[in-house]
Chain A
Amino acid sequence: MKKIIVEKLKYRYPMTGKLALDNLSFTVEQGELIGIIGANGAGKSTLCLALTGLVPHFYRGAYGGKVVIDGLEVIKSEISELALHVGIVFQNPFTQVTGSKLTVYEEIAFGLENMGLDRSEMTARIDEALHLLDISQLKDRDPFQLSGGQMQRMAIASVIAMKPGILVLDEPTSQLDPQGSDEVFKAVRRLAKEGMTVIIAEHKIEKIAAYADRVLVLYNGRLIDFDTPHKIFSRTDLLSYGVPAPVYTQICQALGIQHPRSGTYPVTLEEAYLAMVNQHGDSLC
């Protein structure tokens, strides 16, 4: 089932001459985890905003084409209506704290109160989100007293608790340490397995390679490619779009180690190791 349909999407911010999104077309199936990669200014954040309706409802500007989210055409729907289908976590967790709640627990409840859920459902969802992001111990803390990483996890938990069909994360691990990043990716991977469609714009290429089902490459607002991580990171021209391949892929490319059947290069450490063992046998050990 197609959860996201983007057709010939074009968008230009007000008072700028350049298209931030230039003729994008793609579809995403339910339960897919999609990684969006690209250099700074490629249009990753703008695409995230377009997938939630904030472009063009919040950010005006020139808009063309069509985005359909969960059967709702974005331009014809209110953000408040879209919010029940698609959730977004922005780069800066600080500005996502509502500022009206005194504890993390209440902060996560904010969206659920607006959705009109009854109390038992609310507490069950909050506990689940706290557990999933491993922040149960922070539930009574003041949201503004959290560190950047803790705040980022709370922001993700706040949106996950609303259980949107589609979850958009714009650099969700920018303030997290490697272990924290891993936990967030594992959590969203699990959500995708349960049927949530997840879109992640991210610079941490290794994480995208390891967790994404498909990867969308943007460059100057244009869609360069949209395929599996293996096919994307095996492209030899990837660096010319400002995106390096994962370091394991680069090593395998340098050594000429490929998957024998597909001809693509390994994208994770485990895959690289297995491919090396397969190709060179025991001489590696």
Chain B
Amino acid sequence: MKTVKSMSLYVPGNSIIHRLEPITKLIYVMVAGVLPFILPANPTAVLCLAVTLAMLTISKTLTKVIPLTGFTLLVLLSILFIQGLFHEHNQTFLFRFGPFVFFKEGLSYAARISLRVINLLLGISLLSLTTKPSDLIDSLVRRGLSPKIGYVLSSVLQIIPQMAASVNAITDAQRARGLETEGPLIVRAKAFLPLIGPVIMSSLIQARERAMALEVRGFNANRRKTFLRAANQSSRQTTIRILLILILFAAIVWRIFA
């Protein structure tokens, strides 16, 4: 069977951002993502974006963000285009681009949406690129997440690509025995049916064997689980987390009373 890379986006490294406790990063992403929705959008989003970009630069993962966000940027560009042209409150003429007339209100509305989305997206990218999924899950399990749910979350990233590889192997085997799998849509649709049986059966068998393997490695043992990775529980990280949560509360309070 062909081997397939895990779906994890983690880029190995040893920067200060990599070394941050995953929960600290998770809280940062949540706070930075939510703040522009509570406080005045543009300056807050720009500030959060600047911090996230600085962290991405420090962790040397900035270049990896581009392929991750490429498609979304395309969507945001189309939002800028459509809102700039057709937003319902468009009044103030800004500039003309060929036959297209852009208005200030629409563009500023689209910019606000775009900034919020990019901010959120870069935050999530920062977390994914600098945190091993297993470390994040471990941190969550340490704080009370069920190990079973933790396993499902972390295994999905690795096992789905393997299942996709199984499907490819079965397709190749069927093709070797004369099944037409390429050509017009109707031919492909016909080829799909003979694949369903073997794919489902092999997945079920593999799932059963894996369940047994987990069982005999003490997955359900009635013992207090320990972790290979040491928890990074420095007082500085705790301070950062408390500070982030306080900022969020302060923002909510400001929003309610201001």
Contact = CB atoms under 8 A, between A and B. Distances in A.
A92 B213 CA distance: 10
A83 B215 CA distance: 7
Contact of B216 (A54, A102, A118, A144): A54
A102 B134 CA distance: 7
Contact of A116 (B217, B225, B228): B225
Interface string A64-88: 0000000000000011110110111
A117 B230 CA distance: 13
A87 B3 CA distance: 27
Contacts of A113: 225-228
A167 to B, nearest CB: 11
A273 interface: no
Given A100-B134, A100-B137, A95 B226 contact: no
A109 B213 CA distance: 14
B239 interface: no
A54 B216 CA distance: 9
Could you say which interface size class chain A belongs to? Answer: 35 or more
Contact of B228 (A84, A106, A158): A106
Interface string B82-114: 000000000000000000000000000000000
A99 B224 contact: no
A114 B225 contact: yes
B209 A92 contact: yes
A105 B134 CA distance: 13
A96 B132 CA distance: 21
Interface string A94-127: 1111111110011001111111111100110000
Nearest to B141: A113
A146 B73 CA distance: 37
B213 A117 contact: no
Contacts of B155: 98-100
With a 10 A CB-CB cut-off, give which of A81, A92, A96, A98 has the most chain B CB atoms.
A98
A24 interface: no
Given A80-B215, A83-B221, 20 more contacts: A58-B211, A78-B220, A83-B217, A83-B218, A92-B209, A98-B151, A98-B155, A98-B210, A98-B214, A99-B159, A101-B154, A102-B6, A106-B228, A115-B223, A116-B226, A119-B227, A122-B228, A144-B3, A144-B158, A159-B217
Interface of A: 52, 54, 58, 78-81, 83-84, 86-88, 90, 92, 94-102, 105-106, 109-119, 122-123, 142, 144-146, 158-159, 162
Interface of B: 1, 3-6, 8, 10, 132-134, 137, 150-151, 154-155, 158-159, 161-162, 206, 209-228, 230
